[in-house]
Structure 1
Amino acid sequence: MKSILSFLILILILSCKPTESKTQLRAENIVLKERIRILEASDTLHTEAAVELQNMNVVYRGVSNPIYISKPNTLSFEAKAPGLTKKDSLGNYNLNPGQGNTIDIEIKSKLKNGDSLTEVKTLRIKDIKPPIGTINNIGCGSMCELKLKKEELTDAIIGAKINEFLFDLNFYVTSFKIKMPHYRTIKIDGNKMNVRANDLFTLLIPNDNIVIFDISVYIRGRSNYRLKKIAPIIIKIIE
């Protein structure tokens, strides 16, 4: 736009009558330059702040969501929201949302014409979907059955995971329960099979079914976040 108006200025200068004074030409030039400045400022005002996420306009509660924020054609800008922290000067932030279904990010910017502008970007907050239990890092949820040898249960490690999730969550199991044929339910503290469970595993025979359930898990660094109920591990003993 600026180049077009500059061209118009040149045309006006070349088309002026010889009788016009240099003072008049200077005055007209000043007026046109002021129009250019106003138009440039107007264009700047219509450039909105951009907030880029990895997953549309959704952020997850219980994790640190990476966010990129930019505000073109400004001298500077500042972004604020509960749980929002700045990582660097390139527009990278982390957002740890709290309660509620949405969160507002307030972006205050200083424009090139000296004015200030405040915008609000609203993002949706979603809870982390329920994890599934794993044994030695293997798990497929309550809708399927793992086929394992009884020897594979000895000293096995119980964990949790979420399939096809954007973030790598650091789950830690604090306790779980085991139900085996002909035996009462066993509760184990920690994430590893204990001596009592290992002894009972030696008595299992092919086609016996085992269920590992009530898996208590928290996210390292976010122990106060309450995860939804974890899908159990269903096992069938094979040769």
Structure 2
Amino acid sequence: MAGGKLSARQKMINLMYLVFIAMIAMTMSKEVLSAFGLMNAKFVGANELASASNEGILTQLSTQAEEKPEEFAAANEKAKQISIISDDFYKFLENVKANDIVKNGQYELEDGKLPYEEMDKGDKLDELWFTGDRLTKRGDAIVARIDKFKNDLKAVIPNEGKWLPVIASIEKRFNTGKVENSEGKEKSWLDYHFQGFPAIASYTKLTAMQNDVKATETNIYNGFLGNLVSDATSLKKYQAIVLADKSAFFAGEKFQGRVVLGKYANVTPTKLTVGGKELDLTNAIDSTGAAKLDFTVGNVGEHNIEGKFTFLEDGKPLDIPIIGNYVVVPRPNSATISADKMNVVYRGVANPMTISFAGVSDNKVKASGTGLKPVGKGKYVMNPGSGKEVTINVTATLDDGSRASDKKTFRIKDIPAPTGTIARQSGVVKLPKRNVEIGTVGAQLNDFVFDLPIGVTSFKIKVPGQPTVNVAGTKMNSQAKAAIKKARRGDNITIFDIKAKITNNASYRLKNVSPVIVEVTN
């Protein structure tokens, strides 16, 4: 850009261009540095509020310890230990910021505030904490102090069910393990988070860590008061559940199943008792925290499973009762076959049926018979043909591979004769002539177990003194209406020879529909 062939004027322009770019870069850098400073100030304010809040919780816990020493005395002592550990580490981080960053970087406070825009380099801190690809003694000391804080907290917190999420949170917040960078390479935690960063960025990260210290304190103190944010995971919220591999067992068969805590809380109990017998935890508890059961079932009938889980929570034994039951059924020697509607099957109708074998799953049961068709698990429809009876044969495969079979014969009946209707009335009815003229002729199956849609195709009507009129459909035609108009009060109009069919099965021939007699009322 400033080659020897350029004119003096062009060299000057190029130099001004470079200065302009540098000024833009400096402006952007100052904005970023100021943003870090503002972020640091917000963390400082949040930390001050958290400190005041934590002091209030500690005071409340101390008061509770005085009023209810049996419940809170031990928790109050542990809270005091947490406070000492946290304050010590918080001051350590404050010392690191003051000495390793501010003093070491030779930054001077302006009215008590950091010179954000001047803290754009991190070379002084890099020299103090890093040497080549390794950490200096000071760098090692920083990481060791974070690990010590984490381990000191965990040593005070009970290693029990409801505290496990708190411990996991501490591990996550103060994890100093290796970190994979954007290029897929592993770097030490201190190197990844601090090397090569501006001093103000490193300073703000340490203030953010102080905020994590305060937040962790708050969660632990609330836990000692019984207001743990993760209290939903307390074992008091769980219920012991007996899960059998199947709902019923044959006499003499081994019961196989599990006793689990709701949500599968992977917490090892201190004791497990079932049926008054204490079980060996080494063999009884699996990797999910479920207790495995394996015993010979009793006689035919319903049996209870009773016992208890014993855990430690807040340093005290917590018993969770185990309540369950199982049913022992005899080995099957007959099938259960029933028609869902009644003990017969009707010709012309898809008769729904349930076919099963006691104690045998539906996929191991096979049924056959003329007109029988499976439609689901244990569900069938029977469409009987000619004849008066139909036999259904059932075969079941038992768990031990043996087979059991049974059969049952059903009577076949025809659909009963429908009853004719006019204006939805049947038999002998009284109606005005006008109602007969506009009425609809229909047919229905009274007290039949199936709700079959029946449609009328034609009928005949006879008015006294008038010739019989043939009508197609369900409504009176003009000839029928003319005849009805001539009827007198007290005349009996007869609607007969009603032709009808099942709407969805026109091929089935229904029996003759009974007539309707209408006594004219006007």
TM-score by length of 1: 0.76
Shift of 1:235: 0.9
Matches within 5 A, 1:30-41: none
SS of structure 1 residue aligned to 2:425: coil
Partner secondary structure for residue 87 of structure 1: strand
Distance 1:164 1:84, change over 3 A: same
Q: Of the candidates 352, 363, 374, which is equivalent to residue 66 of structure 1? A: 352
Per-residue deviation, 1:108: 2.1
Task: Give the corresponding residue for 2:17.
Answer: none
Paired residue for 2:384, among 89, 97, 101? 97
The answer for the alignment partner of 2:502 in structure 1 is: 219
> Is the 2:332–2:357 Cα contact (8 Å) retained in structure 1?
no
Q: Whole-Å Cα distance in 2 between the matches of residues 2 and 44 of structure 1?
A: 10
Q: CA deviation at 1:214?
A: 0.6
Q: Tell me the equivalent position of 1:122.
A: 409
The equivalent position to 1:49 in structure 2, one of 322, 327, 335, is: 335
Which position in structure 2 is the counterpart of 1:40? none
Choose from 189, 196, 204 the match for 2:479: 196
**Which segments of 5 or more consecutive residues in structure 2 lack a partner in the other structure?**
1-250, 255-295, 297-329
**Pick from 232, 235, 252: which aligns with 1:2?**
252
> How many angstroms does 1:116 deviate by?
2.7
Q: Is this contact kept in 1: 2:441–2:475, CA < 8 A?
A: yes
Residue in 2 aligned with 1:84?
372
Correspondence for 2:418 among 120, 128, 131:
131
Q: Is the 8 A contact 1:155 1:194 kept in 2?
A: no
Matches within 5 A, 1:96-175: 96-140=383-427, 145-175=428-458
The CA deviation string for residues 112-163 of structure 1, in whole angstroms up to 9 with x for no partner, is: 22123332211111111111101122113xxxx2100000012321111121
Task: Give the conservation status (yes or no) of the 8 Å contact 2:341–2:352.
Answer: no
Aligned-CA RMSD value:
2.0
SS of residue paired to 1:2: coil
Residues 218 and 225 in structure 1, CA contact (< 8 A), matched pair in contact too: yes
Q: Structure 2: how far apart are the matches of 1:108 and 1:2?
A: 23
Give the AA of the match of 1:95.
Answer: M
Partners in 1 of 2:464 and 2:372 — Cα distance?
51
Matched letter for residue 370 of structure 2:
P
Asked whether the equivalents of residues 367 and 395 of structure 2 are also in contact (C-alpha less than 8 Å), the reply is yes
Question: Residue 272 of structure 2 corresponds to which residue in structure 1?
Answer: none
Instruction: Provide the residue aligned with 1:187 in structure 2.
Output: 470
Q: CA deviation at 1:71?
A: 0.9
Matched-pair contact (CA < 8 Å) for 2:348–2:414 = yes
Bigger proportion of residues as helix: 2
Q: Tell me the number of residue pairs that the alignment of Structure 1 and Structure 2 aligns.
A: 196
Give 4+ residue runs of structure 1 displaced > 6 Å after superposition. Answer: none
Percent of residue pairs bearing the same amino acid type: 38
TM-superposed deviation, 1:45:
4.6
1:199 Cα deviation from its structure 2 partner? 2.3
RCO comparison, higher one (Cα < 8 Å, 6+): 1
Question: Which structure features the higher share of strand residues?
Answer: 1
